[in-house]
Amino acid sequence: MGRNLLLKRVCLVLATTVLVQGLPGFTKQSEAATAVNTHATSALTWLNKQLDPPGVQVSLNAYPSDYVGLVEGTVQMASLPANTPVQSNPNIKTTAYPNNYSGIVKGTFTGITDWNAYSVYVFDHTDIGYKKTTATLNANGTWSAGSVTFNGKPVIALVKGGTQIVGFANDPAQSLSDYEVWIYAKTDTAYLQAKAPIRSDGTFETKSIPIFTGGDLLGYTIPDTQGLKEARVIKKSESKVVGTTEKPKLNLIRSFYVPLDDQINTTAGIGNRSWIYDDALGVISYGLAGDKPRASTILGTLANLQNADGSLYFSYNIVTGEMDDKKRSGAIAWVGYAATQYEKKFNDTTYRTFAVRIADYLLTLQDATTGSVKGGPDVPWFSTEHNVDSYFFLRDLGKLTGDVKYVNAADLVKNALLQSHWNVTQQRFNQGVNDTVGALDANSWGSIFLEAIGRHDLAVSATAYVNNFKVNNASMALNTDPNAYNNTYQTTKLVSGYKPYLVDNGDFVNAPNIVWTEGTWGVINLFLRQGTNAQSLIQSMYDLQDADVAGGLVYTNTGAASYDFHVWPSVAATAWQYITLTSPTSIWEP
């Protein structure tokens, strides 16, 4: 009773802090509440972007899949923000001269302030573009090449630094300043072909690339990769895709935002992959936000993907529909748990059968001797984390349905965690049955489990063990090392949090010393339940979140690719933040 009262008081304090932010005498509380509101709102907004189709509408002209060459298309200007800025590009204007022209060649220029850096090159194009003459730019905005006689087609180019053609006569003078279109040819993966400016009327086209080093114009190169043509609208200031001609097959949440310059973005398609654990967190977040349509969209898609045995695959590519066909009990249990949360939040039984089928599948993985749920049908191990996930799902489904089968199954998992997963010597959870590796989430999530079942005595030592994973005064800086690549997110603040693993002599001999944000929010969630001050940890998470102008929380402060940790905004971290800031005990209730 005492601990339950404390939990209620923690939630009451958080709620009261928000309520008093407008009252005098509560400056510090007001500032803290404002920070919570701002960062929680930003987190939810970012989650929405990861689920919703990009909002900018773009189309390409029709091209067969074996087409190679230049492409054209249109961005619907009405789908861009109002008053989207345009820029004046370096540009020259002149009369359209006919073939074999002889006479004065002259014109004007705009969009150039350092005119001494530019010049006009005049070419006579027959078999190639032979250089005829050049002209300087005048301070009054004019240029003249004098009298020129052509044997072929007059070609007039604006050249910077004597070696770089930046445009040709009478190219559009204006384009959108913060948006451009990237063109891809898609075969086994999407290959970038060209980048095209967007004209002020929304049209765009790719250009041939001149072969030019300062003399004759030797020819042009054009995109030469066959494949389905795809256009993506890029907001340059944020390096983000805001529109695409690519049509997703699955309405699931993208687990990561992978920066455009990251090689993994194109080689592995990670930016279009959705892990079902993240989908579950999305459903729970939308439930807290009262957003039934988005929550139902995810659950409905997953229900359609459910296998005949009640299972789900580990992850799916939302564009192609391709799946990672591993089955992992923890992730599957999270989806079932999200369905129970949806039912409780919205009083809607639509996904009850979906959840029941998931539970029945998990029961096929439950060991008859220990009661522990196996990690999957293809593995021999029994994970502590997965069993914590399974316990809360089976417990809550049993309460919802009144079916003692699930209540009893949850009790078996509970006993297995206490007897087969608990390290009696060190008074903490092992990573799994007969697996003594030290893992953060086994003990942070494990402590939440212990608090929920009333074993506060064991929670004390398991929580104390979590301190072994603490990382203090870490930085987040740009890094070109392939193993730690990050060319996008940085902060001048030093941050603290928790790393996922302890160094050992086995799989984690080189375990990274990183701030793992998803895991850190799990610890914060635990601390808030226990009444422990976590404000400095929360501030560190805010500092990392602020590095992304879109509001996502990076998965880690520094990359460790060999352990699959990247400096990418992630659903797992961002959703755990939103849930914990909004109501820490809304998941895995005592």
What are the domain boundaries of the chain? 1-44+439-590, 58-85+173-247, 90-168, 248-420
Structure-token pair, residue 63: 């091209």
pTM given for the model: 0.84
Q: Which of 443, 387, 445 lies closest to 414 in space, CA to CA?
A: 387
Q: What is the CATH number of domain 248-420?
A: 1.50.10.10
Residue-level pLDDT at 496:
99
The CATH class that applies to domain 58-85+173-247 reads mainly beta
Task: Give the fold, CATH level 3, of 90-168.
Answer: Immunoglobulin-like (2.60.40)
What angle in degrees, to the nearest 10, is found between the helix axes of 384-401 and 329-346?
30
Residue-level pLDDT at 224:
83
Residue-level pLDDT at 29:
56
| β-pairing verdict for 153-160 and 118-125 | antiparallel
What percent of the chain is helix, strand and coil (3-state, nearest 5)? 40, 25, 35
Distance CA 414, CA 371 (A): 8
Residue-level pLDDT at 323:
95
Block means of pLDDT (10 residues each) for the chain, 590 residues, are: 38 38 45 80 97 94 93 96 94 97 98 95 98 97 98 98 96 94 90 93 94 95 90 91 93 95 74 97 99 99 99 96 96 99 98 99 98 98 99 99 98 99 98 95 99 98 98 97 94 98 84 97 99 98 97 97 94 99 95
- 291 Rama sector, left if φ>0, alpha if ψ -120 to 50, beta otherwise: beta
Residue-level pLDDT at 163:
96
Distances (CA, A) of 90 to 86, 179, 286: 13, 17, 47
Maximum Cα–Cα distance across the chain: 98
Counted residue by residue, the chain has a size of 590
Q: Which of 472, 587, 584 lies closest to 8 in space, CA to CA?
A: 584
Q: Is 352 helix (H, G, I), strand (E, B) or coil?
A: helix
Structure-token pair, residue 285: 């977040």
Residue-level pLDDT at 423:
98
Q: Alpha-carbon torsion 539, 545, 551, 554, what sign?
A: negative
Structure-token pair, residue 200: 């002020």
Structure-token pair, residue 164: 């770089």
90-168 and 248-420 have identical folds: no
Distance CA 107, CA 150 (A): 17
Distance CA 65, CA 189 (A): 14
Residue-level pLDDT at 103:
98
Distance CA 549, CA 135 (A): 44
